[in-house]
Amino acid sequence: MMKAHVYVTLKPSVLDPQGQTIHNALRKIGFGQVEGVRQGKFFTLNLADGLSPADAGAQVERIAREVLTNPVIEEFTYQIEG
Amino acid sequence: MMKAHVYVTLKPSVLDPQGQTIHNALRKIGFGQVEGVRQGKFFTLNLADGLSPADAGAQVERIAREVLTNPVIEEFTYQIEG
């Protein structure tokens, strides 16, 4: 089965309080060699087998841009497998 | 700078209502060739430069297991870069 992986991250200019909280917690429990944490989301899409790689790429790009990402504060990357 | 990427997913046996909702929405707006959606989280950790690859791997594995993942319902993978 063809799969697409879409990774959505906050833009570098956007504060990430969840990542900051995890970073603080890691320092407190002794993981001082971690210098920063950012949290993101990812989505695994199972795609119909008949889809050509070009069509799959075009559809996944549209889904990522129009449905999975808030373009004001987030950006995305994706890869297609299989 | 050395970076670690940790990917946390729900175990395959655990229902994913967020992924299901996105899947339903995609079908309604015409992306019928998407046959399933699962949502996960990922974390990017910046690691201190002095860390050896072996120490980095050991620390990231512990962080993923003990802090970032709920072992009852989630599982993780990670990779270290640079």
Number of independent structural domains in chain A = 1
- A66 backbone dihedrals φ, ψ, rounded to 5°: -95, -25
A12 near B CB under 8 A: no
CATH label of the domain that carries residue A35: 3.30.1280.10
CB-based contact B39 A42, cutoff 8 Å: yes
Taking the C-alpha atoms of residue A6 and residue B8, their distance in angstroms, rounded to an integer, is 14
Residue range B43-76, pLDDT digits in tens: 999 999 989 999 999 999 999 999 999 999 999 9
Taking contacts as CB-CB distances below 8 angstroms, the residues of chain B near A29 are: 67
Residue range A18-64, pLDDT digits in tens: 999 999 999 999 999 999 999 999 999 999 998 999 999 999 999 99
Separation in Å, CA of A13 to nearest CA in chain B: 15
Tell me how many helices (H) and strands (E) chain A has: 2, 3
Taking the C-alpha atoms of residue A10 and residue A60, their distance in angstroms, rounded to an integer, is 19
Q: What is the pTM of this model?
A: 0.91
- In which domain, by residue range, is A29 found? 2-81
